[in-house]
Amino acid sequence: MDYKEFFKGKKATQIGLGLLGRGVGDADFLARNLDRLTVTDLKKKEDLEPSLKKLAGYTNIDYVFGEHRLSDFADKDFILKAAGVPLDSPYINEARKNKIPIEMDASLFFKLAMAKGTPGKPFIKFIGVTGTRGKSTTTVMIYEVLKRAGKRVFLAGNIKDIATLPLIEKIEEGDYVVAELDSWQLQGFAEIGMSPQYAVFTNFMPDHMNYYKGSMEAYFEDKSAIFRNQKKGDTLIVGEGAEHLVKGKTQADIVVAKEKNLKGGALPYMHGEHNLLNAACAVTLCDIFGINRQLIWHVFSTFRGLTGRMEFLREYDGVVYFNDTNATTPDATIAGLKALCPHALEDELRIVLIAGGTDKGLDPAPLSEAVARYCKGLVLLPGTGTDKLLPMLERINYDYSKIDKVSNLEEALAQARKRASKGDIVLFSPAFTSFGLFKNEYDRGERYITLVSHIGLEDFLRQNSSKR
């Protein structure tokens, strides 16, 4: 079936436009292919201006700002649900009551792409990557290897500024699509009863417990949609240590990605043992496609990781600055601390940690112990997560003179610089989400990068003005 036939003459509601580029890309595609589109978002019109400017030329879009209306979930051919909109939302329930299909961008793309193929010969090779940690890095590793191997390959899914649905216009038979899929996007795959032909499941640990109301079972139910509906002949790559989670729950061929598979090869230049497992998952998947190991090692030797994930920014006056803004869980921050200082001794603590933010319903106690072990100083941004961490630090008798509580990121970096000496590391690894002070983790990271890039500028300007 041609995708144009699917959309021709239809009306739909898109719930969630956002500012990260994915929602606006989907809206642009839908406006070009549908008869009529309703876009509804809880944000105010002025907050969405960057996205709205990109859609200014369309006359077939109706907008609803600052609210959702039940009437927009009736008399439609389908609803396009944004990731993060709860499945038990009253608006989704209204659509179900009216027997309107619920679609999501990545799963709708996959369904349409598979419809282009013939039995036994899929139109494209679709690779879905998920896991609590490592999915972004693993996704991009796979993409870079396939691209270097001369394949026509596209990035998709939970990638900033990339809308998945419009890729249906670009793909050709035999292309590769590598999609990072978070637990919310995988709800869409469960909805259509399909799973990717090639799935990578890196690991599974607590996250998003605020959304899942403390239920790891509900979280796993969404995550497992990546392999639950795989068929015989499909492939599931699972990170070593997580194989027990998938055993007996898929018809696909299961291949365990082990770090020993990296033996004799060039490793990516990234901090942290967890990145070895990411690399192992990428290698194991690329082996399935028969990619030459020497080519893989060459790609790995030049791979420097992703923005916002243990990202080296600069060194100034002997102090090194890292940006780990995508660490939105205590476990992720602990991994970052271990990566930078795996053999820390109490009298040689070298890390000043900037952390804090909004709670996701996760236990901060292990983070308090890691702070005591690895950090010479702790600078805390405000938030409900910070409020949960402080009593944990008090419980282990952490020296409160090492803590600075600040109200914004500018103050945080200033205090971290005061505590850091030559040979130290300033690590921005929040351990919590960005709600409140920032639009999202990308905004948070970009602000930190800008602030770090300006370090020393005042000294330079002062020195030059004194010479005049």
Residue range(s) defining the domain that contains residue 342: 311-459
Residue at 262 is within a domain: yes
Residue after which a domain boundary falls, among 269, 302, 335: 302
Q: Report the half-sphere exposure of 70 (CA within 13 A, side-chain side).
A: 6
Count of domains for the chain = 3
* 113 and 91 assigned to the same domain: no
Residue 191's alpha-carbon distances to 102, 186, 324, in angstroms, are 7, 9, 33
* 28 and 84 assigned to the same domain: yes
* 99 and 111 assigned to the same domain: no
Question: Tokens at residue 80, please?
Answer: 């396009």
pLDDT, tens only, 114-155: 998 777 789 999 999 999 999 999 999 999 999 999 999 999
Check the annotation: does 453 bind a ligand. no
Check the annotation: does 137 bind a ligand. yes
Check the annotation: does 131 bind a ligand. yes
* 132 and 213 assigned to the same domain: yes
* 95 and 114 assigned to the same domain: no
Tell me the β-bridge partners of 79: 13, 102
Residue after which a domain boundary falls, among 270, 302, 334: 302
Q: What are the residue ranges of helices labelled H in 193-273?
A: 216-223, 225-228, 243-246
Check the annotation: does 133 bind a ligand. yes
**The domain that contains 374 carries what CATH number?**
3.90.190.20
Residue at 464 is within a domain: no
Residue at 374 is within a domain: yes
pLDDT, tens only, 369-427: 999 999 999 999 999 999 999 999 999 999 999 999 999 999 999 999 999 999 999 99
Residue at 203 is within a domain: yes
Check the annotation: does 9 bind a ligand. no
Residue at 422 is within a domain: yes
pLDDT of residue 463: 62
Query: Phi and psi of 177, rounded to 5°?
Result: -125, 125
Residue at 343 is within a domain: yes
* 37 and 51 assigned to the same domain: yes
- pLDDT band at residue 467, thresholds of 50, 70 and 90? low
* 139 and 181 assigned to the same domain: yes
**The domain that contains 17 carries what CATH number?**
3.40.50.720
Residue at 465 is within a domain: no
* 318 and 350 assigned to the same domain: yes
Flag whether the pTM goes above 0.75: yes
Residue after which a domain boundary falls, among 254, 273, 302: 302
* 257 and 193 assigned to the same domain: yes
Check the annotation: does 136 bind a ligand. yes
Tell whether the model's pLDDT for residue 465 goes beyond 70. Answer: no
pLDDT, tens only, 321-373: 999 999 999 999 999 999 998 655 555 789 999 999 999 999 999 999 999 99
pLDDT, tens only, 53-78: 999 999 999 999 999 999 999 999 99
* 359 and 414 assigned to the same domain: yes
Q: How far apart are CA 258 and CA 166, in angstroms?
A: 35
